[in-house]
Structure formats: C-alpha cells, structure tokens
Amino acid sequence: MSIVSTSGKTRLRAALERAAAGGRPCIGQWMEFPGFSLSRTIAALGEDWVLIDCEHGNIADADMYLAVAAIASAGASPIVRVPASEPWLFKRALDCGAHGLLIPMCETREQAEMIANACRYPNAQNGGEGFRGAGAMFAPAYFQQDGRAYIQHANENITVIVQIETKKAVENVEEIAAVEGIDGLFVGPNDLAASMGFFPLDHGKHDEVQEATARVLAVGKKAGKFVGHFAESAAFRINQGFDFVNCGADIVAITSWMSSEMGKLAKLVKDKEHN
C-alpha cells in the first residue's frame, strides 16, 4: 500500500478520516526501541501507522531519522512522539519526514495555539500564523513529493495531535479542541490518573478517570477532531468510539512473549526434576 495518495494525503490522514466517518478504525503500533530493521519489521505488519516514541522510548534523534525512513519504506505512516512541547523538537521530527506528531502535556488553549503554529509554514498559500522554518531536506521523499510541493502542501498533509493527560487539560479541553491546526486529541491514561490522585497504572479502576476520558472523546468528536487512546484494550476503546488506537508495543510484545516462554520452560524443568 502506498503511504501517500495521488492527492498527497498520507495513509495516516486517510485512515483517520475513514475512521471518523464510521469506517474501519485507524490502527497503529508503538515503538520504544531503536533500529532500522525493527522499525521496518513492525511497519510491515499491515497497520496504518507506527509511533516512534522519543518521549519515553530509547530513541535518540539519529534513531528517529532511521525509524521514519524504515517505517515509510514499509508502507505505514510514521508518527513521532516528541520528548516535550518545544518548537525545535517539532521541527526536527517534521523535517525528518514524520507524517504526524504526538505532542505530550498540552493543557491550555495558548499551548495548543503555539503547537499548531510551530508545525505550520507561514506561506501565503496556506495562511495562518505558522512559524516553522522552511528547511526540510529529507521530508519530501516520505511524502513522495519534491521540495516545492512539500512546502506548498505540508500544512494540510501533516497531522498534529496533542495529548490530553492531566486534570487541567481535561478542564480546558473545549478550548484546546477549538484551536485550528490541532487535528487530534489523544488521551494519556497513566498521567491523567496520576494528576487526579490515583496510581497511574490503575486508571481503568477509577470512574473519575473513565469519566474524564469520555469527556475528552465527546468534546473532540463535537469539535470535529480525531480522538485516540493508548490502548490497554484496543477493541474496548474502538467500541467506545475512539478513532485511533495502538494494538501493541514492541517492549510489551517482547516481554510478554519471552515471559510466557520462560514460564513454559520453567514448568518443563520442574516436571523433569520430579521424574
């Protein structure tokens, strides 16, 4: 599958629009480890996108460049979660060819406006108040465009998603969702639970956290935004109405499978000891 349509629309954006219209959900994978071969292997599984986690993952700047190239070459859209809400980090991720950005800890309308503008070019054709620097030498290749076409259409082709992951962000979610240039909202359940006074990994056990999550979903949908969730249960979140979720993460898959195999071997060894 091509990662960019003849109209210039990325696979990520096409999948999000399909999901928002009631079609098949937009499904991705989460990547915490660096490596070209690993990135390409994950991206070849058939998902719409692979997220390169530069916030919590072991992925440095040079590794991000390699991962974007590998994921795009395998037919999935690369998304980068940047380490922090800093314009220079957005620029690095976009300039290496990311189709989308996931930006953590957005709590106010002012922060959302800064994010939207930092991810857009200030050219007259697209308007707006963008201030992204026009120096992307690598990105056009991953949009199957030349440099001129990339700059002309980047503002509409790039998908900018902010994370709603604190109590303050939920309180301000209507204002955040109203910002032009913010394409999606993404619930970060662990940090949201922590900000509400609960143990992060117990977010699914507390009605207050689930009510806040439902509020983000409802507000985002009303505002015409794509809404996503880090999926501890992808099917549940899809049935709840979320447009996009991840159905796996490399570190979870590795530890889960290896732990299972270790358990089988331990049982075999124990059985042999008793024989």
C-alpha 139/C-alpha 119 separation (Å) is: 13
Is 2 within 8 Å of 75 (Cβ atoms)?
A: yes
* Phi-psi sector, 144: left (phi>0), alpha (psi -120 to 50), beta: left
The C-alpha atoms of residue 128 and residue 107 are separated, in whole angstroms, by 22
Contact 146, 207 (CB under 8 A): no
Helix (H, G, I), strand (E, B) or coil at 248: strand
Residue labelled with tokens 């440099």:
147
Residue 184 buriedness (CB in 10 A; 0-12 / 13-18 / 19+): buried
Catalytic pick among 56, 153, 203, 274: 56
- 81: Cβ contacts below 8 Å, ≥ 6 apart: 51, 52, 53, 54, 55, 56, 57, 101, 102, 103, 104
Q: What would you measure as the largest C-alpha separation in the chain, in angstroms? A: 79
Spatial contact of 140 and 129, defined as CB atoms under 8 Å apart = no
Contact 160, 119 (CB under 8 A): yes
Query: Encoding tokens for residue 134?
Result: 């026009």
274 classed as catalytic? no
Catalytic residues: 56
